[in-house]
Amino acid sequence: MNHMPHESLPHARTFMGWPPADSVWGPYTADVRRDITAVARTIAEYEPVVLLAAPEDAERARKACRGAVEVVAVPVDDLWLRDSGPVFVTAPDGTLAGVDLRFNGWGGKQEHSRDGLVARRLLEEYAVPRIEAPLVAEGGSLETDGDGTLLVTESSLVNDNRNPGRSRDALENDLKNLLGVAKVIWLEGVRDQDITDCHVDALARFAAPGTVVLGSPPPGTGPDVWTRVYEQARAVLEGATDARGRTLEIVELPEADPAGLGERGEDFLGSYVNYYVADGAVIMPRFGDRRSDERAAAILRYLHPGRDVRPVEIHTLAEGGGGIHCATQQQPAARP
């Protein structure tokens, strides 16, 4: 059976996307491209990075990254490769395949005529066998411990904008067969409050088998819809066991404190949980509140010993409702 590896295992490369001039970023395109460049060049210090760009944008992307990354001519609508790109799985013999999750613009919320083809085109470019998923999902909605357990939010999967008429049990069966997991832990999440319908990768992540890092509201927040999402998630995780029967250690990772950030838009994502584990490093957001940033870095060092923790400013990216994990997708290294 195929198996979805944990992000901390060795990578062949990281995929990212270069937002085109006609994307939803509009007048903020230059700013978000700077964020993408900063993230890509930081990751490239640890492993190869491939940036997908429309043919007319490829040279600009190369110049921005100063040769640190490979640019491949694959058109994109937006930069969120975690969601539009494939999720990779490995067979028992170590061979690799890519799962096309049939990206549909987070339930038709955004234009995706190019992004809907990204997984297929990327897999063709790298000659990786393609598996068409029997459900619609995004990579940001799937979090595995690499040891048989999957963490998801019900709001982003059991949703008629992606999988109309499908029951949770039916989708769980598909996920087990597709990703090689034995147990799915369902968090409730929330619908219609952000474009993703509450992806799990901005809420809770497996730092290692048996250890979940949970994004928590900053002190004094709420009560509001997001504090209720956190409280429900914590209650489920406290009562859950993983595929091996272990109770879960929960490590809280508080979000950035709005009081230290200045004015932010309504879509701003202050989640440190949306970090990316590269080979030898953890790439985390730096939001500008020194106390929150340093606290998050210390927690991530504890969770990922032996890796550099590299904060990167992503002000525009975060204003767009996403983060570093949302903008990256790893290809696992092939096993001998």
Q: Tokens for 276?
A: 């990316």
Distance CA 50, CA 150 (A): 27
Can you tell me which residue has the tokens 């005529």? 113
Indicate which residue of 326, 329, 330, 332 is catalytic. Answer: 326
Report angle CA 80, 200, 174 to the nearest 5 degrees: 90
| 198 among known catalytic residues | no
- Write out the DSSP string of 257-295: -GGGT-S--TT----TTS-EEETTEEEEEE-S-HHHHHH
Q: Which residues neighbour 24 within 8 Å (Cβ) at sequence distance 6 or greater?
A: 78, 110, 111
Distance CA 324, CA 40 (A): 10
Residue with tokens 């080979």: 279
In DSSP notation, 92-111 reads TTS-EEEEE----HHHHTS-
The CA-CA-CA angle for residues 95, 147, 246, to 5°, reads 175
CA dist., res. 239 & res. 173, Å (int): 22
Show which residues are catalytic: 326
